[in-house]
Amino acid sequence: NAGVTQTPKFRILKIGQSMTLQCTQDMNHNYMYWYRQDPGMGLKLIYYSVGAGITDKGEVPNGYNVSRSTTEDFPLRLELAAPSQTSVYFCASSFGQGGETQYFGPGTRLLVL
């Protein structure tokens, strides 16, 4: 059981480039989440999904897109990278919405120059 895995671990992007952050979970969880964490701050919710084909915006969705075609995968897409998107991105999953704990991946560190 690998839990939640994220790739890549680190990436440098130039302004205006695009990339996809990958997230996969093998716990058969229905709910998946993307957060970003800026230095010295807590995590902020970008997007979440309650099942395959169902996604919705969180607190800070601008500049990002998501899709959920399978239960296991929840990729996060950055279309036109900006310096403000320099952050550490965490993917998380939970079984449902009944107050279960969320399980987090190791994070992707993104630097936009």
> Is 17 or 106 the residue whose CB approaches another protein more closely?
106
Please, what is the minimum distance in Å from the beta carbon of residue 33 to another protein?
7
**Where does this chain bind another protein (CB under 8 A)?**
4, 31, 33, 35, 40-45, 48, 50, 56, 58-59, 90, 92, 94, 96-107
The Cα-based distances of 1 to 5, 6, 24, 71, 97 in angstroms read 11, 14, 12, 15, 22
> Is 50 or 52 the residue whose CB approaches another protein more closely?
50
Beta 54-57 vs 76-78: how paired, if at all?
Answer: unpaired
> Is 62 or 101 the residue whose CB approaches another protein more closely?
101
> Is 17 or 95 the residue whose CB approaches another protein more closely?
95
Please, what is the minimum distance in Å from the beta carbon of residue 102 to another protein?
7
CB-CB contact of 71 with 51 (8 Å): yes
Residue 50 CB neighbour total at 10 angstroms: 14
